[in-house]
């Protein structure tokens, strides 16, 4: 796992570095598009499985718009491989849904570059996908995302082209298969099944995507998925007379988005305990609305140094009812002023604001990495202290 922190010079002057997946999640607030973050995680999970089997080539996307999905697809390419981005761009006439093609090509390139310093890997093709000829492309592709025209003819042509350039065992994701607003996608896919039987095998359905595998292949990817990600819940279904996984619960709830990367998804808790909390008292009391301090010893049990500084790492708490139900999630922070080396401890006076209503509560002590995560959210154990307000 990469180091948690990025430092400038000899001091902690630079902002804490988010992981790729955390930065990508934040990008959904600023980049236009219809792509789902959890669809990207589904792509990454299955791509991790084929990469482990030695399948890692070029990647391709038909229909890129502003690049929201392209950022994820680009991360699936093999070392030294390319992303082929197929779209009409300038050739597309302005319309209410897409706006100006020329402007969204600019947004596409800017958004890709915000994640990848160099765009040497990017091959942009401004052309209708139906005009592409598979023989003009190398058969070196391990992943294709088809999100182009939604007529039955366009869908069939895109599936035929993408499957022709895919490596055996490679993955193909199709958008809007079950979307009732675009029945042509399903019609085109079924026509492909009828005319190209035994070429694509459905694997998974979720987040408005159907994920297929290019045959022939000896890999049992769903069996591998269950072994690699045993905590991820799914339903079993059947499509094209083939068993498939049906995903409904957001995949982000199963993975440590800090410790994970596009090439390797890490289940929550798999990274181990990063910090432990030892309060001076297990039970405390205070008057309604009163503020008091509770000394807490924080121990760094990770392999990385915790940085010090204002608004970086703060000890805080979640206020719960006596039964453990959330009352107030965010509360005052007490920031670590100096760096905390692995295995070292620091005593922090945690400021607690008693609620105005009398009764019994629980104070759940946690550590927050500002702008990134609460340690609880990545599976780190918290610590409970009983609070009586009277």
For residue range 150-190, list pLDDT tens digits in order: 999 999 999 999 999 999 999 999 999 999 999 999 999 99
Residue 259 lies inside a defined structural domain of this protein: no
pLDDT score of 94 more than 80: no
For residue range 214-233, list pLDDT tens digits in order: 999 999 999 999 999 999 99
Residue 6 lies inside a defined structural domain of this protein: no
- 230 and 304 part of one domain: no
Residue 55 lies inside a defined structural domain of this protein: yes
The position carrying tokens 């007529």 is 151
pTM (2 d.p.): 0.79
- 164 and 212 part of one domain: yes
Mean pLDDT of 39-62: 98
For residue range 113-125, list pLDDT tens digits in order: 999 989 999 999 9
- 185 and 313 part of one domain: no
- 205 and 116 part of one domain: yes
Residue 265 lies inside a defined structural domain of this protein: no
* Domain count of the fold of the chain: 2
- 160 and 305 part of one domain: no
Residue at which a domain ends, from 192, 223, 254: 254
Choice among 202-216, 252-266, 277-291 with the minimum mean pLDDT = 252-266
pLDDT score of 251 more than 90: yes
- What pLDDT sits at residue 270? 84
The position carrying tokens 């922190």 is 5
- What pLDDT sits at residue 117? 87
- What pLDDT sits at residue 272? 85
Mean pLDDT of 131-153: 96
pLDDT score of 13 more than 80: no
- 308 and 246 part of one domain: no
Q: Report how far residue 126's alpha carbon sits from residue 109's, in angstroms, rounded to the nearest whole number.
A: 13
Quick one: CA dihedral 385, 386, 389, 390, positive or negative?
negative
For residue range 333-358, list pLDDT tens digits in order: 999 999 999 999 999 999 999 999 99
Residue 14 lies inside a defined structural domain of this protein: no
- 59 and 116 part of one domain: yes
Q: Report how far residue 91's alpha carbon sits from residue 86's, in angstroms, rounded to the nearest whole number.
A: 12
Residue 194 lies inside a defined structural domain of this protein: yes
Domain of residue 158, residue span = 20-254
- 320 and 205 part of one domain: no
Please report, for the domain that includes residue 331, its CATH number.
2.60.40.10
- What pLDDT sits at residue 304? 83
Are residues 292 and 332 in contact, defined by beta-carbon separation less than 8 angstroms?
no
Q: In terms of pLDDT, which residue wins out, 119 or 14?
A: 119
Residue 351 lies inside a defined structural domain of this protein: yes
- 280 and 229 part of one domain: no
Please report, for the domain that includes residue 156, its CATH number.
3.40.50.150
- What pLDDT sits at residue 271? 80
Q: Report how far residue 222's alpha carbon sits from residue 83's, in angstroms, rounded to the nearest whole number.
A: 26
Pull the structure tokens for residue 36.
Answer: 């789902």
Q: In terms of pLDDT, which residue wins out, 11 or 168?
A: 168
Residue 11 lies inside a defined structural domain of this protein: no
Residues in CB range of 146: below 8 A, 6 or more apart: 62, 63, 155, 158, 159, 162, 172, 173, 174, 175
Are residues 61 and 147 in contact, defined by beta-carbon separation less than 8 angstroms?
yes
Residue at which a domain ends, from 191, 220, 254: 254
- 34 and 180 part of one domain: yes
- 109 and 243 part of one domain: yes
- 33 and 131 part of one domain: yes
User: Quick one: pLDDT band at residue 269, thresholds 50, 70, 90?
Assistant: confident
């Amino acid at each position: 796992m990469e180091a948690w922190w990025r430092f400038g010079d000899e001091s902690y002057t630079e902002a804490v570095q988010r992981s790729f997946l955390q930065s990508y999640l934040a990008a959904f607030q600023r980049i236009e598009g219809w792509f789902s973050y959890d669809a990207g995680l589904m792509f990454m999970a299955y791509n991790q499985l084929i990469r482990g089997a030695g399948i890692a080539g070029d990647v391709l996307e038909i229909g890129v718009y502003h690049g929201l999905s392209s950022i994820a697809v680009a991360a699936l390419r093999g070392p030294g491989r390319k992303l082929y981005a197929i779209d009409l761009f300038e050739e597309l006439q302005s319309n209410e849904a897409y706006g100006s093609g020329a402007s969204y090509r600019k947004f596409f390139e800017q958004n890709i570059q915000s994640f990848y310093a160099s765009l040497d890997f990017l091959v942009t093709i401004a052309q209708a996908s139906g005009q592409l000829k598979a023989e003009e492309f190398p058969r070196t592709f391990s992943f294709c995302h088809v999100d182009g025209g939604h007529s039955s003819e366009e869908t069939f042509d895109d599936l035929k082209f993408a499957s022709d350039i895919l490596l055996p065992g490679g993955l193909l994701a199709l958008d809007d298969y079950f979307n009732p607003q675009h029945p042509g996608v399903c019609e085109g896919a079924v026509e492909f099944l009828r005319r190209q039987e035994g070429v694509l095998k459905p694997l998974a359905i979720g987040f408005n995507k159907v994920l297929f595998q290019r045959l022939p292949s000896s890999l049992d990817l769903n069996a591998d998925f269950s072994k690699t990600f045993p905590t991820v819940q799914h339903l079993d279904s059947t499509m094209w007379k083939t068993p498939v996984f049906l995903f409904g619960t957001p995949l982000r709830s199963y993975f440590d988005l800090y410790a994970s990367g596009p090439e390797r998804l890490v289940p929550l808790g798999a990274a181990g305990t990063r910090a432990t909390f030892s309060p001076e008292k297990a039970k405390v009391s205070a008057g309604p609305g009163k503020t008091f301090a509770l000394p807490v010893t924080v121990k760094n049990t990770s392999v990385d140094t915790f940085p010090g500084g204002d608004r970086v790492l703060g000890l805080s708490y979640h206020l719960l009812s006596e039964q453990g139900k959330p009352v107030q999630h965010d509360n005052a922070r007490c920031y670590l002023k100096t760096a905390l080396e692995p295995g070292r401890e620091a005593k922090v006076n945690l400021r607690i604001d008693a609620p105005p209503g009398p009764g019994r509560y629980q104070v759940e002590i946690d550590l927050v990495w500002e702008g990134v995560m609460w340690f609880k959210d990545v599976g780190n154990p918290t610590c409970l202290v009983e609070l009586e307000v009277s």
